[in-house]
Amino acid sequence: MTNLYQYSERDPPSFTPIHVVNRGDGKIVGWVGRIENRDTQAYLSRRDPQEHKFHKLDGYAVSNDIITALRGRGVERVLIAELTGDVYEYAREQFDRGIEINYEEDDPQSCVPVKKALNIWTGLTSQILP
């Protein structure tokens, strides 16, 4: 599915990781870094659509704790890199207003449908992941 932002012909992000983002149990959930070709801070998270995609909402969720931490660090963009190769770009603020998910009792999350992505690139995952 396309949206108006895709007609802007924006170049794909060139992501440089700065540090790893861990959950409370130590599992790596993503990286905070820079989109070098835009001089923008971003959060990049690798996702398996079979395991992580909320199919009913056709979107991805990020833990509210992580969104709060990203806001505090001045992160402006969220990049979801699917193992299928697709990369979705969102404004971090979209997750502030996302659909609340309480899939796990101790981990409230905010979900944004893929159709709301600002940009979608096909075949970019292998080039963007650290």
What CATH number is attached to the domain comprising 46? 3.40.1350
Q: Which residues of the chain have pLDDT under 50?
A: 1-7
CA distance 37 to 83: 23
Residue 7 domain flag: no
Of all residues in the chain, what percent carry a pLDDT higher than 90?
75
CA distance 116 to 37: 22
As a whole number, the mean pLDDT across the chain is: 89
Tens digits of residue pLDDT in 16-52: 999 999 877 788 899 999 999 999 999 999 999 888 7
Predicted confidence at residue 6, as pLDDT, reads: 45
Residue 8 domain flag: no
Rg (CA), the chain: 14
By residue range, what is the domain housing residue 27? 14-128
Contacts of 92 (CB under 8 A, 6+ apart): 43, 67, 70, 71, 75, 76, 77, 78
Predicted confidence at residue 10, as pLDDT, reads: 77
Among residues 111, 75, 69, 119, the alpha carbon closest in space to that of 94 is found at 111
Report the DSSP beta bridge partners of residue 81: 46, 87
Residue 9 domain flag: no
Total number of domains constituting the chain: 1
- Residue whose entry in the numeric block shows the structure tokens 């540090």: 19
CA distance 112 to 130: 24
